[in-house]
Structure 1
Amino acid sequence: MSRSPNPLDGFTVDPAAIRYVGEGLQRPECILAERDGSLWSADARGGVVHIRPDGTQRLITQTASRRFTDAADEEARFVSGTLPNGLAFAGNGDILISNFGTDRLELMTRGGETRVLVDTIDGQPIGKVNFVLRDSRDRVWMTISTRTQNWMRAMSPTIRDGYIALYDGGRLWIVADGFAFTNEIRLDAREEWLYVAETCACRVTRLRVQPDGSLTDRETFGPSDHGAFIDGIAFDAHGNLWGTHVMVDRIFAITPDGDLRILLDDDRGSEAGKALMAAFARDEVTSELMLACGGTIAPWFASITFGGPDLGTAYVGSLRASRIPYFRSPVAGLPMAHW
């Protein structure tokens, strides 16, 4: 359904207007915002960084919950293997962590005490856990990018082994399968559709949400091929779906009518970006080609988070920056379940 006018009409991000928050961060891939102005950022040091409204920050590292285990080796796993990726607030304010290092869904208190919610599905290891999202019914959706043991091999145009799982009532089950490196997911304002960033299909897919959590009517939303890897996505209040093109470092939006708009381009047609996507088309992506890419604002744009008291500030998560860029949006973000 067409909506006019769109607040994004004529809008692009002015690089000169970008400001930064945080310092010394490591892999701030996913960011959560709260009403009081706090930001919570995933951090490769094994936990999250809490950035307070006054700009001060604290690293909170994961420790094994003694209420659920007293094994020393479990404590060591949280220290050595953890790589928090996607984050969401649980209903009580704790932090749900999709852990890209330990391949499991975890729950961490704001003091760092962590327990495993689930690490297997149908008796098998979950796979490469990527993102987590809580809905208004307190159900937890999660994405598994690939079942391939070496996830880099799944950076391929031919592999479709990612899936979406639903955790509800202590049970985890697969609700949709066969995705090309499943990444971030978002629900629309009415929670009628679930939108999926398929990184290695270079597109956004959506599925209709049924009352029992099953997903139907799978279809492409917007262009069938962005010509770039899509990582994070987030809705604004108008119904535009914002997102990031990782490694070639662009911020885009897909309007409710399905039109793609590039809001910020920090790659500017670089030779490295062209070489990466050409190699991907040949199924010859290497880590060296990937690492050659990245802009100057925050290398490897990974996510968009709306925050601030009016949800009118857009924060950009990334994989290789040590701080978080932000800018004012002409439209507020869609409030998340915790807001």
Structure 2
Amino acid sequence: MTPDNPLRHWRVQRNDIHTVGQDLRRPECILAEPDGSLWSADARGGVCHLGASGEQRLVVQQPNTHFDASAGDDHARFMQGTLPNGLAFDGEGNFLIANFGTDALERMDRSGRSTVLLDRIDGLPIGKVNFVLRDSRNRIWLTVSTRCNPWVAAMRPGLADGYIVLIDQGCPRIVADGFAFTNEIRLDAREEWLYIAETTGKRISRMRVGPDGSLSAREIHGPASLGAGFPDGIAFDAYGNLWVAMIMSERLLAITPQGDVLTLLDDGNPAAIAELEHHFAQSTLTTEIMARARGSIAPWLASITFGGADLSTVYLGSLMGSSIACFRSPVAGLPMAHWQPVQQAAPVLSSPLS
């Protein structure tokens, strides 16, 4: 007999929400480690470490070559436009950074030394890299939201130029395309299905993962539309619920294994959301209109991370926040690849790919 879903009659209580960190810049994606520490993407050009004892340290990206720090020229060129977005750990504990500003997948060690791993594919600039995920076999999955520049031009119905790259045995290849602003992706517990947040499609899709990493049998998980706002970050809990951060409508949802949608938190501004939805339908969205549609708990709610020793603390990433909202969940999260041993190690990426 299947146990009752722990989320079925549960909602986040505002009084139970706390914050960690201070003076952060755009903590869009958060990684949690078993020792209780957190790492947050930071718009200052790197990641911020939040220690389990409350200490905080910014690690800024540096080019992985010798340069004259007093001149700063090489560093300035490297940092120009940088905007760390999605994060993952590689098999050695280095950071994989989907850089939404430089349009590249980068690797950074814990001292800040950084290398561009991938910025072109099939002979073309890769586009707006959004999120990176490592699986238990040490393969790297990368989402590209759009090739539109500026990216805001892709915030409209009907455009589906997003795609997914798989890097396996050091070789990158596009394994699926035609997505409406590809955002975060997650694998289920058995790594049989890849779940894909299609931001401007307002839906979660999924595809079956073949032994060679090929993707097939695309279908929608849950409803065809999740309603107001846009799905951004997603994460599985141990029961099989897929948690969804709905940016700009500032809602936290969960899609049950049966496809039902549960609302766990609603921090939206109804008037701003109505304006947002009107302009999205008319393909007239601007950054100013989007900026007005933000809440107060995790402004521009962007991601969900399970952490703590028991994986039952939920951390909410945001694009406009300066701290990280957190609360306790009645169900633990699904462990990420870096919480578990690598099943089959692939060659370490040691040089830029093309």
TM-score by length of 1: 0.96
Tell me if structure 1 keeps the 8 A contact 2:245–2:252: yes
Letter in 1 for 2:300: W
Counterpart residue type for residue 61 of structure 2? Q
Q: Which residue of 2 aligns with 1:286?
A: 286
How far apart, in 1, do the equivalents of 2:66 and 2:313 lie? 39
What is aligned with 2:349?
none
Distance 1:212 1:67, change over 3 A: farther
Tell me by how many angstroms 1:285 deviates.
Answer: 1.1
1:201: Cα distance to partner?
0.3
Instruction: Select between 276-285 and 200-209 the one with higher mean Cα deviation.
Output: 276-285
Q: 1:3: how far off?
A: 4.1
Distance 1:74 1:126, change over 3 A: farther
Name the amino acid aligned to 2:8: D
Q: Is 2:182 the counterpart of 1:182?
A: yes
Q: Which runs of 5+ in 2 are unaligned?
A: 340-354
Q: Which amino acid aligns with 1:19?
A: H
Distance in 2 (alpha carbons) for counterparts of 1:125 and 1:67: 26
Residue 39 of structure 1 aligns with which residue?
38
Deviation at 1:289, TM superposition (A): 1.1
Partners of 1:65 and 1:222 in 2: how far apart? Answer: 44
- Structure 1 residue ranges, 4+ long, deviating more than 6 angstroms after superposition: none
Q: CA contact under 8 A between 2:8 and 2:262: conserved in structure 1?
A: no
Name the structure 2 match of 1:249: 250
Summarize the alignment of residues 204-283 of structure 1 with structure 2, pairs less than 5 Å apart.
Answer: 204-227=204-227, 228-267=229-268, 270-283=270-283
Q: How does 1:1-339 map to 2 (within 5 A)?
A: 3-66=2-65, 74-227=74-227, 228-267=229-268, 270-339=270-339
- Percentage of identical aligned residues: 61
TM-score of the aligned structures, taking structure 2 as reference length: 0.92
User: Contact (CA 8 Å) 1:240, 1:255: kept in 2 or not?
Assistant: yes
How far apart, CA to CA, are the structure 1 residues paired with 2:74 and 2:221?
42
Q: Matched residue of 1:200: which SS?
A: coil
Task: State the alpha-carbon separation in 1 of the partners of residues 186 and 2 from structure 2.
Answer: 20
Local SS of the residue matching 1:32? strand
Q: How many residues align?
A: 336
CA–CA distance in structure 1, aligned partners of residues 322 and 60 of structure 2: 17
How far is the alpha carbon of 1:248 from its aligned partner? 1.3
Contact kept in structure 2, 1:46 and 1:78, CA below 8 Å = no
Amino acid paired to 2:314: A
The offset of 1:78, in angstroms, is 2.7
Q: Give the superposition deviation at 1:196.
A: 0.3
User: C-alpha separation between the residues in 2 aligned to 1:163 and 1:74?
Assistant: 31
Read off the aligned partner of 2:222 and give its amino acid letter. G
- The alignment's C-alpha RMSD in Å is 1.6
Per the alignment, in what secondary structure is the counterpart of residue 338 of structure 1?
Answer: helix
Aligned-pair CA distance for 1:176: 0.4
2-structure distance, mates of 1:150, 1:210? 34
Give the CA deviation at 1:280: 0.8
- SS of residue matched to 2:75: helix
Counterpart amino acid of residue 36 in structure 1: D
Q: 1:170, CA displacement in angstroms?
A: 2.0
Q: Deviations over 1:109-166 (max 9, x none)?
A: 0010000111110111000000000000000000000011211100010211000000
Asked whether the equivalents of residues 29 and 40 of structure 2 are also in contact (C-alpha less than 8 Å), the reply is: yes
- Displacement of 1:74 after TM fit? 4.8
User: CA–CA distance in 2 between the matches of 1:190 and 1:151?
Assistant: 34
Does the C-alpha gap of structure 1 residues 119 and 67 become closer, same or farther in structure 2, counting only changes over 3 Å? farther
- Paired with 1:169 and 1:304, the residues of 2 have a C-alpha distance of 29
Question: What secondary structure is seen at the aligned counterpart in 1 of 2:337?
Answer: coil
Query: Is the Cα–Cα contact under 8 Å of residues 3 and 256 in structure 1 kept in the other structure?
Result: no
- C-alpha contact (below 8 Å) 1:186/1:235 kept by paired residues: yes
Which letter does structure 1 place at the counterpart of 2:106? E
Q: Mind listing any 5+ residue stretches in structure 1 that lack a counterpart?
A: none
Residue number in structure 1 paired with 2:348: none
